[in-house]
Amino acid sequence: MTDSDNHFEGLRGEPTGEGQHGGTAAGEGDRASRARRRAIGTPPPALARRLLGDGRAAERAEKPELPAEPANAQRARRAEQIAALCFAISFLGSVAFIAAYVIFQVHTLDDTFRSNLALGGSMTVAFLAIAVGAVIWVRELMPQVELTEERHPLASAQEDRQAFERTFAEGAQASQVVKRPLLRRSLLLALGPLALAPLIVLRDLGPLPRARLRHTAWKKGTRLVVYGTNEPVRAADFSSPGSLITVVPEGTADDLEAVAKAATIIIKFRPGELRRPTVMDWTVDGIVAYSKICTHVGCPAALYEHTTHHILCPCHQSTFDAQRGARVLFGPAPRPLPQLPITVDGEGYLVAQSDFHVPVGPSFWELG
Amino acid sequence: MSTADKALRGVGGYLDDRFRGAKSLRTFFRKIFPDHWSFLLGEIALYSFIILLLTGTFLTLFFNPSMTDVVYHGTYTKLNGVRMSEAYASTLNISFDVRGGLLMRQIHHWAALLFLAAIMSHMLRIFFTGAFRKPREINWLIGVTLLTLGILEGFVGYSLPDDLLSGTGLRILEGVLLSIPIVGTYVTFFVLGGQFPGHLLIPRLYIVHVLLLPALILALVTAHLFIMFHQKHTQMPGKARTDHNVVGAPMYPYFMAKTGAFFFFIFAVLAGLSTVAQINPIWLFGPYNPAAISAGSQPDFYMGWLEGALRMMPAWQINLWGYALSLSVFIAALLIFGLLMTGLALYPFIEQWVTGDKREHHVLDRPRNAATRTAIGVAGVTFYGVLWLLGGNDLIAHYFDIQLYWTTWFGRIVIVVGPIVAYILTKRICLGLQRKDRELIEHGVESGIIRQLPSGEFIEVTRPPDEESRAAVMSRVLFHGLAADGEREDGLLPAETRAPGAEVAAAAAGTRAPAAFESRAPGAEVAVSEAESRVPTPEARHVMGRLRLRLNHVFREGISLQEGDSHGDGHGHGDGHGDGHRELPSADEESTPRS
Amino acid sequence: MSWITARRRHPAAGYAVLLLALVLIGAAYAAFAGHGTTASAAANPPGATKQQLAHGRQLFEVTCATCHGIDAQGSARGPSLIGVGAAAVDFQISTGRMPAKEIGAQMQEKRPVMNRTQTLAVANYIASLGGGPPIPSGAQVNTAGADAALGQQLFASNCAACHNFAGAGGALTYGKYGPPLTAATPTQIYEAMLTGPEAMPVFSDSTVTPDQKRAIIRYVTQTRSEPNPGGFSLGRVGPVTEGIVGWLAGIGLLILAGMWITAKQREQ
């Protein structure tokens, strides 16, 4: 331990017995000799101490716990200068921040970049300089100390525990709750539904699911429109093998809730390329439509490798075979992408024959 | 008396007249804080949280948590004419039309990352040094709760701007909620207020993010700090540091200055990152659209482990009588989350059951001295780390030219094999370090000086270790740490005095053991007495009892530090021997460490 | 004893050696690693003259026929090129993908081996064999007035899944990948959409009209040239690099600061 080491007094402010150097033995001796030499009529030592104050208290008050000055005065002066310089730099940084706020405008990308750089840079300088200055202050300027504080067992003393138990028991008795079961039970009865009430009022957070998850916006005759342009797709125009595009039901492009279930991809295959279990009746001339909503957790499965006919969902790598009914080849998706039955209308545009025959998107308990 | 003194006395007197603060404030000022850099990790979390509150308040003055569609016409001309939610539009507004807005957004997001990274680092420090032991179990539980709340708060927070990346995360949340058995669809509809995305999700998440979770976190952080103050901070083992004191510098002025300086360091680092490193550029992602998705979509890092779990799980759905149990989603996203947090929360209590150690601990364990605990911790970190790594598997596949599916298979295999290998390796390393410590005590420190003995043999001269190193090594036995099998708890007494009076003898030997502290772990007593007497203890009648004894034995594997125990051939200690030993260690030197 | 030898047992010695080794390896890698390709400039193809066709045929026989067959009919090593069109050939050769250096999961972009004249010659020759989409004209890829907002919507729904929201690229299966779009010229982007090279789907002009293609091209070129107002972009890949920087720079720097604050002080 260093020379400046001190023993702290315990929490109650009383000196701990063995810990203090040189205090105990002398004190005992003093008290004993005073007791012997006490004149008749003078108060006993304990009372005397209380009346006159303990001589040692004065001693204790004069001995400081922390040294006032650091050991090396020259180093301290140097440290003070460095810390002061750091604080001065910080001051400049803060002023620069205010100036930058006034000077640098935003409203274009380049201006935003400059403003961010100026504001952020000055803020960084301001904070960093204070931090460095403060650390130099603590480490080099404040006198080094290593002090020891006593720990006492965290558990309360036995008497305190027992006193608490007594008070608790007395209070319980006085409250009559322990002695009167009718009171107790009726109180519990009253509190029961009160605790439940906050949950009850949450019922209207949302509608009941019912069969909503089983249906999408696709209906018989709904045209497929390209998502983003809202243009319907002619089967004859979608003729290059390996083509893919995202489509939604006509009229739903602005309704995110509808798109979130109805988004579909159409893929063009060469004649004869599609295989079971793709339902051929639901295809048009090698054009097949699958739900875009991945059956894992609902990301759009949009990645299509036309050389391998694999639809890959980029979120968790579920892979579906577009040639074979979008059945799952790899990854965590538990079921194939539902196939949308499509056909052409009188003008040659692609339309849906009906809604999907199975629910789209992630599996849920009532999937069926 | 100067004016400043008079003013201070005036203010102090005014308050003290009303609140009686002199004594308690003085106690507060004189509180001792031990110094170690790893004790500052919790402070990073605390101050990041404060910075989050400050920058977050600024953002709330401009953010509009509404999912109503608007057509954008503003500074970011590339999106002019695009339909987006008001939440997204207001975030664009903050970024490009409010001075300092982008800076505040970036500081807020970097601070969130720092907050969670600091919580995790702090938690690991607590774990590996055994600071969660009695009396700090409740604080550990508060900490695990804070970690969970922090993860949720971050997830909810970055979902507020309703951009493509975070909206995908919300979509995944919907899929995860749907996978809950029986009540999944109801929970989903109640949380979303209908179907996805609906119009209520962002406003609801907003109030969770700015009011409910911060209030909970603030309350728990306050309790966490108060408990730490009340119980006093733990300390690293070292010279004169015991379970009955705290050694360091006082709060006022030392610790206040240091912690204040650290606060400014943290703010400086965050401001620096926000100046030079762009984070969450929502204008590049575009507004959320359920039909759009980007390659390489990941959540923020603290959610990455759940993302990895989702990617790693093979397809698994059980269909029973018209009901579907989507296990690939439920296990990955919910079950693993729950198991990991529960495991973390229960760990102190499990360890206490295994070791039977009911004493207060205020001196920290060096991780090597608690080899099994450290190995379990590293195995846990490996498990978490594999999940985290898999969260970015498509980026890893792309940038490191590894086939995509191989990364998935790698994850599936290493998630099981990795923790096992990590456990074994870590335990071996810890035991090796313990042996090195014993060598330090017995043979001293190599001085680099070679001396030739008259016999012609070359030896390296060693010197005894300094007080600090010696204290650090011996702390394992002196301060009721985890003693090795067969090793005396105090390390200094012969076997005969292992009776209840041992605490008195221990006190006489120079360590203090007041009555409130038990001197030996009952489990140790049980295990040792069984080994000696060969009479089975009553515990061994039940399966749980036998399991406990077995686990206790494994937990306490370690290298004995007892004097005279290491070399059967009685070499001298302290100087003269480094690599000069050619004898193999004798059979009873080490308690048989089995992994 | 030299300065270094005297400090061989310094606590930081091991870390210093490791750091030095990493720096040297990194520098060596950077020096030797392959560099990105330079794409050749787009230009309007001139009319195909007889000489040009003959030149193209000659180049084809020398460079391409080994894999694609002497009459471009295809072989075990390369598909038939009859009907692929000039646009596909221009794309593959101008990005350096063809001639392929090695047959792997996907042809890598590299420094093109043919200059513009040669590329056009081969392209026109192939076009003469069986038609197919022509090289887009300068007007077709002129993005002035194109609607970048529409481009954003189309890109996000159809392209970002492979190429990432900013065109930084992404992983596909079995070693394939969606390449980054940072170096592609407007012509090459148009051609890629039109012809669907390798695994990329085909976005023909009847599905995605030329106007819409221009919108997409405008979105791509505008995004990649846009400044990053928040600082370094960290690769524009999102939270993964942000997390790495947060841990390494954030926690790392603060641990260093903490070590300084709590370090044992020298005797004053």
| pLDDT for position B577 | 43
Q: What is the pLDDT of residue B593?
A: 43
Average confidence (pLDDT) over C169-176? 88
Residue C74 has pLDDT above 90, yes or no: no
CA proximity to A247, closest of C148, C158, B69: C158
For A201, the closest chain B residue by CA position comes to B190
Give the phi and the psi of residue B209 in degrees, each rounded to 5.
-75, -35
Q: What is the DSSP letter of B583?
A: S
What amino acid occupies position C29? Y
Contacts A–B by Cβ distance under 8 A:
301
State the average pLDDT for chain B.
85
Please tell me what DSSP assigns to residue A300: B
Q: Could you give the 3-state DSSP secondary structure of residue A305?
A: strand
Across the A/C interface, how many CB contacts are shorter than 8 Å? 115
Percent of chain A with pLDDT over 70: 85
- Give the 3-state secondary structure of C94-132: HCCCCCCCCCCCCCCCCCCCCCHHHHHHHHHHHHHHHCC
Segment A108-130, tens digit of pLDDT: 999 999 999 999 999 999 999 99
Residue B288 lies in a domain: yes
Q: State the DSSP code for C78.
A: B
Residue contact B258–A364, C-beta within 8 A: no
String of DSSP letters for C219-244: HHHHHHHS--TTSB-GGG--HHHHHH
- H or E stretch covering C59: helix C50-63
Give pLDDT, residue B524: 47
Identify whether the C-beta of residue B378 lies closer than 8 Å to the C-beta of residue B422.
yes
Q: Do A363 and B186 touch (CB under 8 A)?
A: no
pLDDT confidence tier of residue B242, bands split at 50, 70 and 90: confident
Task: Check pLDDT > 90 for residue C188.
Answer: yes
Q: What are phi and psi of B70, to 5 degrees?
A: -135, 160
pLDDT at residue B377, rounded to an integer: 96
Rounded Cα distance between A271 and A235, Å, is: 13
Put simply, the answer to whether C156 touches B164 (Cβ < 8 Å) is yes
**How far apart are alpha carbons B6 and C83 in whole angstroms?**
96
Q: Say how far apart CA C107 and CA A187 lie, in whole Å.
A: 78
Q: What is the CA radius of gyration of chain B?
A: 29
Decide if A316 and B311 are in contact by the 8 Å CB cutoff.
Answer: yes
Residue B568 has a pLDDT of 39
pTM metric for this prediction: 0.85
Judge whether A246 and B291 are in contact, CB under 8 Å.
Answer: yes
The residue that leads in pLDDT, B578 or B140, is: B140
Task: Out of A9-18, B385-394, B473-482, B519-528, give the one with best mean pLDDT.
Answer: B385-394
pLDDT at A268 over 50: yes
Per-residue pLDDT, A56: 56
3-state SS, one letter per residue, for B322-338: CEEEEHHHHHHHHHHHH
pLDDT tens string A305-326: 988 999 999 999 999 999 999 9
Contact B317 A151 (CB under 8 A): no
SS (H, E, C) B18-87: HHCCHHHHHHHHHCEECCCHHHHHHHHHHHHHHHHHHHHHHHHCCCCCCCCEEECCCCCHHHCCCEEEHH
Helix, strand or coil, per DSSP, at residue A330? strand
Does pLDDT of C107 surpass 90?
Answer: no
Percent of chain C residues topping a pLDDT of 90: 40
Residue A144 near chain C (CB below 8 Å): yes
Write the burial class of residue A173 (CB in 10 Å: 0-12 exposed, 13-18 middle, 19+ buried). Answer: exposed
Percent of chain B with pLDDT over 70: 84
The pLDDT of residue B492 is above 70: no
- A328, A351 contact by CB (below 8 A): no
Domain of B76 in residue numbering reads as 31-315
Nearest to B324 by CA among B177, B180, B176, B195: B180
The token duo for A312 is 């890959």
> Domain count of chain B?
1
For chain B, the straight-line distance linking the first and the last C-alpha, in angstroms and rounded, comes to: 69
The verdict on whether omega for the bond into residue A341 sits within 30 degrees of 0, i.e. cis, is no
Task: Over range C99-122, report the average pLDDT.
Answer: 85
| CA distances for C186 relative to B78, C9, C144, angstroms | 18, 59, 12
The amino acid at residue B148 is T
Q: Which of the residue ranges A135-149, B413-427, B533-547, C142-156 would you say has the lowest mean pLDDT?
A: B533-547
pLDDT above 70: residue C44: no
Binned at pLDDT 50, 70 and 90, residue A169 comes out as very high
Q: Check A303 against C154: CB less than 8 A apart.
A: no
pLDDT of residue B500: 39
Please give the Cα distance from C201 to B107 (Å, whole number): 41
Distance from CA of B164 to the nearest CA of A (A): 11
Work out whether the CA dihedral C19, C20, C23, C28 comes out positive or negative: negative
CA B258 to CA B35: how far, in whole Å?
10
Task: Mark yes or no for CB contact C170/B276 under 8 Å.
Answer: no
pLDDT at A31: 53
Cα A147 from chain centroid? 38
Residue B38 tokens, joined: 């790893």
Residues B96, B101, B106: CA angle, nearest 5 degrees = 105
**Integer Cα distance of B222 and B225 in angstroms:** 5
The shortest C-alpha distance from B453 to chain A (Å) reads 38
> What number is the average pLDDT over the span A256-270?
95
At residue B249, what are phi and psi to the nearest 5 degrees?
A: -115, 155
Backbone angles phi, psi at A53, to 5 degrees: 90, 140
Residue B197: its chain A contacts at CB < 8 A? Answer: 256-257, 260
CA count, 13 A, side-chain hemisphere, A365: 14
Angstrom distance (rounded) from CA B559 to CA B593: 8
Average pLDDT score over residue span C252-259: 96
Q: Is the pLDDT of residue B580 over 50?
A: no
In chain C, the domains with their CATH numbers are 43-135 (1.10.760.10), 136-226 (1.10.760.10)
Query: Quick check: is B67 in a domain?
Result: yes
Give the separation between CA C49 and CA B118, rounded to whole angstroms.
70
Q: Report the alpha-carbon distance of residue B405 to residue B388 in Å, rounded.
A: 17
How many CB atoms are located within 10 Å of the residue B276 CB?
17
Give me the residue from A101, A202, A364 closest to B99, CB to CB: A101
- Which of B33, B35, B36, B37 should one mutate to test binding to chain C, selecting the residue with the greatest count of C CBs within 10 A? B37
The three-class DSSP label of residue A264 is strand
The Cα A280–Cα A295 span in angstroms is 22
pLDDT of residue C42 exceeding 80, the answer is no
* The residue to which tokens 């005014």 are assigned: B14
pLDDT for A52 equals 65
**Which pairs from B416-424 meet CB under 8 Å and 24+ separation?**
B418/B382, B418/B383, B418/B385, B418/B386, B419/B379, B419/B380, B419/B382, B419/B383, B420/B379, B421/B382, B422/B375, B422/B378, B422/B379, B422/B381, B422/B382, B423/B375, B423/B376, B423/B378, B423/B379, B423/B595, B424/B375, B424/B595
DSSP string, A131-191: HHHHHHIIIIISPP--EEEE---SSPPHHHHHHHHHHHHHHHHHHTTTT-HHHHHHHHHHH
8-state DSSP, A206: S
**Residues B568-587, mean pLDDT to the nearest whole number:** 39
Tokens matching residue C239:
């939270």
Looking at residue A291, what DSSP letter applies? E
CB contact under 8 A, A299 and B257: no
Under an 8 A CB cutoff, do C202 and A227 touch? no
Q: What is the CATH number of the domain that holds B207?
A: 1.20.810.10
Whether residue C39 has pLDDT greater than 80: no
Best residue in B212, B247, B276, B293 for a mutation probing chain A (most A CBs within 10 Å): B293
Nearest to C250 among B113, B275, B298 (CB): B113
B481 vs B422, residue with greater confidence: B422
Neighbours of C169 (CB within 10 A): 20
Query: Per-residue pLDDT tens for C194-219?
Result: 998 888 999 988 889 999 999 999 99
CB contacts of B117 in chain C (<8 Å) are 246-247, 250-251
CA distance B63 to B93: 9
Which CATH number does A215-352 carry? 2.102.10.10
Euclidean distance between CA atoms A333 and A316, whole angstroms: 9
- The 10s digit of each residue's pLDDT in B38-67 is 999 999 999 999 999 999 999 999 999 999
Please give the ipTM for the structure prediction. Answer: 0.83
Judged by a CB distance cut-off of 8 A, whether residue B341 touches chain C is no
- Percent of residues, chain C, with pLDDT higher than 70: 93
- What span, in angstroms and rounded, lies between the C-alpha atoms of C209 and B593? 73
| Residue C251 · residue B117 · CB < 8 Å | yes
Task: Please tell me the predicted confidence (pLDDT) of residue C47.
Answer: 57
Q: How far is residue B446's CA from residue C171's CA, in Å, rounded to a whole number?
A: 54
Confidence of residue B576 (pLDDT cuts 50, 70, 90): very low
Position B507 in a domain: no
Decide: C60 and C135 in contact? Cβ < 8 Å: no
Task: Tell me the average pLDDT of chain C.
Answer: 86
